[in-house]
Structure 1
Amino acid sequence: MAYPCYGAGPGGGPGGFPQQQQDPLYQYFAAVAGQDGQISADELQQCLTHSGVAGTYKPFSLETCRLMIAMLDRDHSGTMGFHEFKELWQAVNSWKSAFMAFDRDRSGTMEAAELQQAVATFGYNLSPQALGVVMKRYSTNGKVGFDDFMSCSIKLRGLTDHFQVRDTTRTGKVTFQYDDFMQVAMSL
């Protein structure tokens, strides 16, 4: 298994709880997090680029890294602590596996039908119109690369999570105040 960061030694980085320090991923996290014990979007981009997690795909953009942090930033600090990082690492690997499974021709991209199957596997039932909007936003010449697939997956997860919190009766309908809607939309 390749770990996400480089240059971490047994004593590198900030201190942590003993169980964290025993986690092999913690040393990699600590090497990037530095003294503050948090990873910013810039640090995450550097970390993921050097990890090789993207494989032969294009490295993650800074915007995708910002989305990754926002997805798990429970304290709204704009950074990621170790537990959030560990959760992200699992999510990235799951999304990478899904991408590889649905990129059947190994082109490094997904077309609309492949993307529809992938998001359906995640439990999202997008209408053809919604899929069309997703393809316009995340594709280049009708093909979605891995970085854009990650951004799309994060947005779908975040928007769905925010929607479900407000859909207390599970009717598939919610009411948003404008400011609330803007906070949700802009936080992702």
Structure 2
Amino acid sequence: MHVIESDNRYSELPQEKAAAPKKEEDDTFNIAMRFVTHVIHRHKPYGGAPGGPAFPGQAQDPLYGYFAAVAGQDGQIDADELQRCLTQSGIAGAYKPFNLETCRLMISMLDRDMSGTLGFSEFKELWAVVNGWKQHFVSFDNDRSGTVDRQELEKALMNMGFRLSPQAVTAITRRYSTRGKITFDDYIACCVKLRALTECFRRRDASQQGFVNFQYDDFIQCVMSV
């Protein structure tokens, strides 16, 4: 048995306000941020797993056209189709489109039936989540370089509700940065993995105190499924 412990020293760090998003993106940003705030207050021991709610509606939704253009007859999309769908939707904006590995991570984050695909409602949830993370990235890219450094990453993660030690932030920076700079694509991959692992931990933390007992095989399944 392995005991994974979350350090409560980081559970009461002050929150900073993210810079206001562009007016035309307010609705999606606010939806994602309301969910983030809910999770922050509910799971203080080790922070939140930011995300957004699922959305109803299909044909009348502007995103449905992008989804339907790549989805198969079963109404599902895999990682390759998700990559095309996100690129066509323009969510990356001026940043480099998401690579295939990042899209695989995105699917694993929301693939509740372990099918390796996403339906439209899951795609809408993903789109809202990624758009919220994009606003955080823009807000904390203070020098407008199109990248964030370790200090900017730490502020962004804290603002989203994650409670991480300086050592953990350093480890994340080393994993996702190139010469100390994290691109938008790698930033999203980092957020996806943090959310998925936090949710995996939270589901096993019955008392919500930041302590979990993992069997080895369960631990491997949790980590390797992300």
Common topology (TM > 0.5):
yes
Structure 1 consecutive aligned stretches of length 4 or more whose deviation exceeds 4 Å: none
Percent identical:
63
TM-superposed CA distance for 1:186, in Å, is 0.7
- 1:111 and 2:161 are equivalent in the alignment: no
Aligned residues: 173
Whole-angstrom distance in 1 between the partners of 2:180 and 2:161: 23
Matched, 1:155 2:198: no
Letter in 2 for 1:40: D
Q: Residue 65 of structure 2 aligns with which residue?
A: 27
Given the alignment, which residue of 106, 114, 130 partners 1:76? 114
Once the 2 structures are TM-superposed, how far is the Cα of residue 36 of structure 1 from its aligned partner? 2.1
1:19 deviates by: 4.2
Q: Does residue 187 in structure 1 map to residue 225 in structure 2? A: yes
Q: Is the 8 A contact 2:147 2:184 kept in 1?
A: yes
Does residue 85 (structure 1) correspond to residue 131 (structure 2)? The answer is: no
1:54 Cα deviation after fit = 1.1
Of the three residues 62, 81, 85, the one matched with 2:100 is: 62
1:22-58: CA deviations, max 9, x gaps? 2232222111113121111001111222332112212
CA distance in 2 between counterparts of 1:141 and 1:52 reads 28
Structure 1 unmatched runs, 5+: 3-17
Give the corresponding residue for 1:8. none
State the distance in 2 between where 1:26 and 1:54 align. Answer: 17
- Consecutive unaligned residues of structure 2, counting only runs of 5 or more, are 1-23, 26-55
Q: Distance in 1 between matches of 2:224 and 2:171?
A: 18
TM-score by length of 2: 0.73
**Cα-Cα RMSD:** 1.6
User: In the alignment, is the contact (CA less than 8 A) between 2:63 and 2:89 conserved in 1?
Assistant: no
